[in-house]
Each structure stands twice: as structure tokens, then as C-alpha cells.
A and B are shown apart, each in its own frame.
Chain A
Amino acid sequence: MTASRQTGAIIALAVLWGATVLWGIGQVRGLRQADVLLQNKYGRAFYETKQRTKNVEALLSKGLVSGSPDQMDAILSDLWYNANSAQENLSQLPVSHDVVARTSKFLSQVGDYAYTLTKSNQDGALSDKDWGTMQQLYRTSVSLNQEMSTVEREAAAGSFHWTEVQGGLGQTLPQGPVSSADRSFRNMETQLHELPVLVYDGPFSDHIEQMKPLGLAGGMVTLDQAKAIAGRFADLAGATVQQTVLANEVQGKIPSYSIQLRIDNNPADAITVNVSKQGGQVVSLLNPRTVSISKLNDGQALTAAGAFLNSRGLTGFVPTYTLRSQNIATIAFAYKQGNVMIYPDQIKLQVALDNGQVLGYEALGYLTAHHQRVIAAPAITAAQAKSKLSPRVQAQSERLALIPTSSKGEVLTYEWKTMLGNDVFLVYINAKNGEEEQILKLLNVPNGTLTL
């Protein structure tokens, strides 16, 4: 009896042990498969990056040689595509950001620069300045490719595996080196230490980061003055402020005091108002109050927003779009100078749809761009601008608008509202030379109008 029980127990154990072993083998296999999959994914990203940077080098050298405008256009488009693809693949590699940041910036700028040249390069020939820039970029790309080859040799020789960094999963980017791949890439980055400063007409040009805000006038305000400004500016909807505290100071583009207005004892409900140190302007306001019902329609929300701006001395703003979500309306306003819409001078408001209280205010764009502008009269008439529109669209209405360019410049245009079928497009025609500067598509969504 006991003996048969013992045998039964031994058999049961043996079966369980066998099952465990089989399960373990399956697990190991699965892990290996996942590892190979990841290794291949990273390998693909790396070899793709390498091929694309090689193409960038070849295309830059061809750009230096080409004498034909058509050929030049093709080269520049190719350059734009290859540089972007290289940058995209580079950012998928499992290395910490600080070791690829410079390479990434270089590739972004090459692509952006090539794109800008295709737009401006109407007559085909490169100016001496552009030729010089391209030569500089070419030299950098040569040393980049040499370093990429070193990394590739190390990877091929097995000195690192992309997936060895798995142990570092869960670590955040700022926590420093996570793999030996990092070490190989670090050499590459030091080679790019002296990146040329690139100033051109594109969004990644180096001049954009150095731009100073234009909308701040006047002297510095003290903390007490800033607190008073915040208290006067915020829409309290009848509540009284229990406590006004300096939460922090904000450095960067517009140095500010971040002031908290506490209306009850819970700091999480506090209204945060950022007041610029220079000029004492409110840069942004956030009120975390949640809104549970909608009582106001779009028109009433607009009226509330307009009244708020007027009472705060912000006059001359015209609403441009409204979007509703979570019982809050987000309304964008642009400044209007004379009969010209000034789109760079944008202010955004959030209005609670239960009582019309202003829950959000954002004027970073306005304070960065706003200044007293001298706007030249348009060189062409609205009718002439209309003739530049595609004959396939139905032109409906027009107004003058100053729009920002991709490099934060400004250009005076005619804003034509046009229809193609049921779709609405805003087409911007340069008021000086009649060129089409920009097209925006209006999206009518259930709760507002969006521009794309």
C-alpha cells in the first residue's frame, strides 16, 4: 500500500519535473526568438542609418559639382529624403540620447537646408555662400561616415550587441550610458563637436533658438508686483484668493515668476499664473478646475473670452478658431492691425462651458512675436491675387493676413477662403509677388473647426 503510494508520488513528481523542463525550454526558445527579433530590428535601423548617411555624403558632393538646375533639384530632393531617413533611423537605435544628439541635429539640418534650397533655388545655380555651406556640410558628412564605419566594424566584430542593453530597460534616458554601443557612438559624437553654425530659411536653422521675445516692453517687476498682477489678471469667478505664493521661477525664453493663487486649502486646485519679469506681462495661466456640464454654446463662450480680453486691456484681437472638449472651449485669437490679420501674434484662451470662467490663457506666441509693425501696402490687388488661385477652386472671400514663415519670418499675404467640393481651404497668396505661400485645410469636426 505504502509502496504503491510512494511509486505514485514518484511518477507524479517525474511527470511534473518533465513538464517543468519542457516549459523551461519553451521559455528559453521564446526569449531567444524575441532577442533575435530585437537584434534584427536594431540592426536594420543601424544599417539603414549607415546607408542613408553614405547617400547624404555622395549627394552633397554631387551638389558641389552639378551645373544643371534640373539635376540640382533632383539632388536636393534626394538629399532631403535621405537625410530625414537617416535621422529617423538613428533615433530608433538603443543608445542614450546625448550620444546621438549632435549627429541627429546635423542630419536634421542637412535635410532641412536641402528642402529650403529646393524652394528658393528657382534659377538653379547655387550662390557662393550656399556652395560654401554645402562644402562645409560635405566635409562633416565625410567624417561622420568614417565614424559610422568604425561603429559598424565594432558591431560586426561582436564587441557589442544591441540587445545587451535590455538589462537597462526601465532606466530613463537621462540616466547616462546604458550600453557599450554608447561608447562607440560617443567617439562619433566627439568628431562632430565642431558643427558649423547654419543660418538659413528653415525651421531647424540655428538662428531660431537664439531669437529674443519682441513683445516685452518696460522695466523689471518685483515679486510683489508680479503677485498683484497675477491676482488682478486671473478670472476667479467670484472666489477669493486665500494665499498667493511664488511656486517657482521660470528661466528660458521669457524669464518669469510662476505664481500660485490658492482659492482653497488644496494646493492641487491652485491657479498657476506665469508673469514675465520684464514688463510684468502674463505669459500663461492654468486653472485645473474640472468642468462637468456644458451650459454655454460657442457664441456665448466667444463673448466670455472677448470680455475677458477687453477687461484685461488686450484689445484688437479677432477669434480664429474654437475647439470644444471636456466641457471646455479652446479659442484662438489673432491680433488685427488695421485691416491685416497678424497670425504670429496669437493668444489662446480656455473657457469653462458651465459658467464662462476663463481656465486657461496662453500668450507665449504673442509675447515672442508682437511688436509695432510697419506693414507696407500690398503691391498687388485682391483681384490679382485671386487670379493666382487654381482655376479648380471656388474663391469665396479674402482678407489681408501677415503669416509666419517656417523660419519665423513674416510675410504679407491675401488669405483667400476657397472651396473644392465640400472642403474649405485657406490659400495664402504673397501680396508682393503673387506667389502661393501656404495652404491650410479647414476641418469641420463635431466640436469645432481645426486648421491643418
Chain B
Amino acid sequence: MSALLEIQNLCKQFGGLKAVNDVSFTVAEGEIVALLGPNGSGKTTVINMISGALPPTSGSIRLGGVVLSGLPPHKIAHKGVARTFQLVRALPSLTVLENVITALAFRGKPLWGAQARSRAEELLQQVGLAGRGPEHAADLTYIDQKRMELARALAADPRLLLLDEWLSGLNPTELRVGIDLIMSLRERGMTILLVEHIMEAVRALCSRAVVMNAGTKIADGPTAQVLADPAVVAAYLGDEDA
């Protein structure tokens, strides 16, 4: 498998704080990789740099050989990166369907009009929101807003999907539904990098995991192996328990 996403020596400095310190890893085409680590370890900062929400202080990010680092977020989106947000960001004054159409209308190969409508309805059906298009995004329940956000991300037809704690805040039944949804994406060959705290989901979904602690990468390998690594356990639970 060839690497789709290549991250090399990535650093992010906020004043005196090195939030991300010299992190390098790759994600292969069709792979689902988990980005793990305790709170404040810099996972979301890495995601934000890949999607362009934050510019890196140094280092490089490449997607299929094309340099993303330094580009504004809308250009990175056009190069094939789509994401969801740690705290759901629905567009409250739009309907559910319009939320998805937005991503269709402004992707690299835009869709508009009847074509966009039917594609958006297809995507809503795919995430389990069939026929809910006319509802206001603000009126949806939390899980449904998450589904809508996923449909919006998928609408961009991304080469790389970034999911930032997409499964957090769901009850056990909803979690099962969420995991199945991501599984279905894997079957269709989607490349996904996800930040997640729910280990059950990580074990079920991700073949490989990258673990960060205090801004640096401390482990990178097959999920089961990484989660058994004493350094990883120490980072999560503290040294005494390891």
C-alpha cells in the first residue's frame, strides 16, 4: 500500500507551548488509522493542521504527494480533505439538505441544482437520515447532527476523511450504529484518520494506531500491539499503574 497522507516533522508552537513536537507518520490509501493520546496531547491540533484550520509552525503535510501545509482550509478541502468537528458544527439556519448541498456546491468538482439535490438525498440515506432533508439542522438530535455532519463531509467526495471524536457523546446503541456506519465507509475503500477516546471503537475499526503524549509521538503500529505498549499505558494511566 502506498502512503496517501505523509506527515513529516510536524511542529506547532503556541507561544511557549510546543503543542505538537516533531511528529511524523503516514496513512496508506484505504487504511483507517486512529490518532490516540490523553487529553491535551495534541491530537486535535494535528487534525487542525491537516485540514488547514491552523498553519503548522514547521514540518510538512502531503496528500498523494501534494503539499497541503500552508494552504488555506478551502484549498485543502479542494485537494480532497474533509472533516467533522470535535463539537458538532451544524449550520443552524440551513436545512439538513442544504447542509449537505453546501459541501457539494463548493467541492473541487461542484454539483448544483437538481443533481446536487438528488446526490444530497442519497448521502442522507447513506448515513441514516433518509427523508429528513427539509428539517432544520438546529432541530436535530445530537446523533442526527453527527450523521448530518458526516454526510456533509462525505459530500466533498474526499480522498481523506478526518473524524475528530465523531463517536463521543453517543449512548451504547448509537455507538453501535456509529461504528457500523464507519465500517461501511471502510468497505468502500475510504481512507480515514480518526481521533477517538472510545477504545472499543478503535479496536473494532482501526488496523493501526498512532499514539501521542505531550505533543510527541510515542507509539505507531498495529492497534492491539500499540494498546499493549507499556509506554502507551503509562501515558494514559500514569507510571505507577504500568
A joins B in a complex: no
Q: What residues make up the interface of A, taking CB atoms closer than 8 Å to B?
A: none
